[in-house]
Amino acid sequence: MRLKNKTAIITGGANGIGRVTAMTFAREGASVVVADINENAGTNVVAEITANGGVASFISANVTQPEEVQHLVDLTVQKYHRLDILINNAGILADAQLVKMSVEQWQRVIDVNLRGVFLCGQAAARVMETQTPGGVILNAASVVALYGNFGQSNYVAAKAGVIGMTKTWARELGRKNIRVNAVAPGFIATEMITGIPEKIINRVKEKTLLGRTGEPQDIANAYLFLASEEAAFITGVVLSVDGGLML
């Protein structure tokens, strides 16, 4: 029960990595707020958590909208009296090569993957700085932010920005006992890769030192460690969880 008596918001918590993270945190004792725009999937996650004895709530929130983000944080504090952990997990893809990418594709990814992280982080930090102890903010980066990736100018730019914000927030918030770290997943088997041809997936596996794609649980475990007191002296870090893909 590494997160006993903690309250955690997980954005994008209805599916994929967010869903597994929500269930993992609940098993470890946290009261979990699943924040997502997909109400059906989000309430299903909450129902599964509560059926297994956990504590969870669903709050509909579009992370690109300041009013909805503030509403999410306010409701969380109203219900659970604290906000100890924020997982900035919500993210989307809209891939295209540079010469073919539309401004709309660019902006949509920047809005969710970068603006959304900023808005959620800001709202959470304003609560955490008034608490004792402060709290933990964990941001979803990506290994592509460190090395680039074909056809992902928007996604890479957003995730590189997330890494920059993570380090900046760690500097600003450390004295307030708020730790800020990022996890940089590699190739993870979620709904986001369902449209990728099998030959490309096999090629990635061949390049990964551990010989497989990652599972959502691998990322959830990294979030769990960084959110727990086991990581009490870790801040400003970007943890790559990629099976050795980028080596």
The reply to whether omega before 197 is within 30° of 0 (cis) is no
Is-catalytic flag, 80? no
Query: Within a 10 A sphere around the Cβ of 232, how many other Cβ atoms?
Result: 11
Cα–Cα distance, 196 to 91 (Å, whole number): 17
Amino acid at 221: N
β partners of residue 184: 240
Q: Do residues 9 and 35 touch, judged by C-beta distance below 8 A?
A: yes
Residue tagged active-site, from 80, 147, 155, 223: 155
The string over 127-155, giving b where at least 16 C-beta atoms fall within 10 Å of a residue's C-beta and e elsewhere, is bbeebeebbbbbbbbbbbbbeeeeebbbb
Burial 169-181 (b: 16+ CB within 10 A, else e): bbeebeeebbbbb
Helix (H) or strand (E) holding 124: helix 116-128
Q: How far is CA 65 from CA 50, 68, 117, 166, in A?
A: 29, 5, 11, 20
- Annotated catalytic residues are 155
